[in-house]
Every structure is written in C-alpha cells, then in structure tokens.
Structure 1
Amino acid sequence: MTADPAHADLAWLIELMKITLDVPTINPSLSPRDYGMDSLGAVELCIEIKRRYGIPVEQSWEWVSFPVDEIAQQLAARRRAPTPD
C-alpha cells in the first residue's frame, strides 16, 4: 500500500503554515488567506514549495484563496504530472 501524496503534502503544508502564521492549528478546509496570510506570506510559501518539491508555483495572491486541502491536492497532481523533456 502506498501513501497518498496529497496527504503527505497536506501534512507538510499545514506544519509550514502553522509556523509561518504562528497559529496552533490549521483547518484544511480554510484558505491561507482566511488565516491572515498576506501577499508577502504567499510569496514566501511559493518559495518554500519550490524549495521542497522543485516545482514552480505562480507567485500570485490569488491561489492562497483556495482551501489548504485543495492546494495540497494541486501540489500532489503537479508532482505526478510528467515533466517536459
């Protein structure tokens, strides 16, 4: 049985957000914006995602309006996608 990549991505993302936003818990059905993440925080999160996974994430304010669990699903899908040669 293999681990669900989205679950691992969600766990990592939640821990990162707890540290970044200095909050004790994160509800995955809420967005980073719901927790008060600003545009600078969004850029920092994009940098951490690229650092961890090696995939570029658009440094846009818009994507942080998605719920955390949806962001994790998108990360997992992008990591599974074939890379162009």
Structure 2
Amino acid sequence: REIKEVRRSAATAPTLEEKLSWQKQQRELEGKRSKLRRELFARQDEVEAKRDDLISQLEVQLQQRVEERTLFTIEWELV
C-alpha cells in the first residue's frame, strides 16, 4: 500500500527532482519488500524441511516390528 502511494506521488510530482526522490523512495521500499519476501520463503523452506524430517522419523517408527522369541527356558521338577 505504501509503495502504491509513493508510486502515485512520483507520477504526480511537479518537478523532476521530486519525481526522482519519490522513485528512489519507491525503490528502497520495494527492496525492503523483496528482502522480507526472501526471508519469508527461507523460513517456509526451513519449516517444510523440519516437517519432512518429522514425517521421515514417523515412518521409521511405524516400520518397527514387534518380534516375540524365546530368550531362555527354565525346567523345573517337583520332588
């Protein structure tokens, strides 16, 4: 919204000097917006990677099997 206002001000600026100033401000705002977008995408990538890791761990846990086997045998006799 702020970028649109600055763009509008640049378009209606009466002098070339003012127009240049508005356009410079617009460029700075667009740069900040781009940086924030890149940071957002990086965070989204981190979250997605963590999610994939958790899903992989869950799959490994689900693949574990319960196995029953005799470990030792005790024989006893009443006398």
TM-score normalised per structure 1: 0.27
Question: Does 1 or 2 have the higher relative contact order (CA < 8 Å, sep 6+)?
Answer: 1
Structure with greater Cα Rg: 2
